[in-house]
Structure 1
């Protein structure tokens, strides 16, 4: 059985192309592998942005935290546990203003924890979440994925690799506000269908 973590980030609800693609992919992969899906919807904007107190709490060993630090670190602990338990991560992420949505950066700041999801070594940082597969379903209105103005896809791919997740596939429906937008969505949908059948 495969444990699939589905992370969605679009603020557009059911109208979201990235969410539609990622939902179809996560559901299809679960059906194909008799797996389970845990869904984390970042668009609810319930994650805190890391400040000095949260940073200190996250950097303190669980047994040494004060009661306040335990409360501050709880959401990071939960998000990290979701990643650790997953065999496959499916991310539905739109490109906002050429980059990653702010709430995805907030998620990244909470799950990047030295000694837990990565470690500092004499040879530099080493990701501790190895052996996982990730898919990123991307939607953009005008930004071409892989172009010089796409700062989201390379950043998110690099970040996953930093955590040790190097097997990453990008499925893009990009430039969907253009004249061939429907074709781009259909192509991405066909890719999802191929991966899940």
Structure 2
């Protein structure tokens, strides 16, 4: 079966390869920025590309459980790598905004407080910190069941990330709304179905 073949291939793929492939686009975006390939506003474009790719990785992470549950495709071994990469891109997105875009410390704090889309983005970033800190085997052993509960923050983070993208767009645009709908759909798949009582 195709599913068995996919699972066999996945088992042979080392996690380090996922990290290399996952971080490669960041280098490409940086190259485009330095060579004029990101248009007239390279800093804004770099900021956008990094943020959008982070959202794609969050969505990829949300896909893993439904793929296993509904299609039998087991990519669970890559979930940690995808999560760490998503945080890396979010952090890079934030750094570009802080260091290259705003630059003025007082303005940064003012923007966080006064601009809702930035406030939402910062909430998502802060929520990711405990997840990346506990993305190791020691934390899994120490926290036990609490680790699983903690990492359910991923659902909220993905939603907040999609909301941030919609708010940044400032108006009805197909791309950010499409991301939001995908995230909502993937979250809806996780809602437990109520079983109807048997009729006698």
Instruction: Compute the TM-score of the two structures, normalised by the length of structure 1.
Output: 0.29
- More strand, by proportion: 1
- More helix, by proportion: 2
- Considering Cα pairs closer than 8 Å and 6+ residues apart, tell me whether 1 or 2 has the greater RCO: 1
Instruction: Compute the TM-score of the two structures, normalised by the length of structure 2.
Output: 0.29
State which structure, 1 or 2, has the greater radius of gyration over its C-alpha atoms: 2
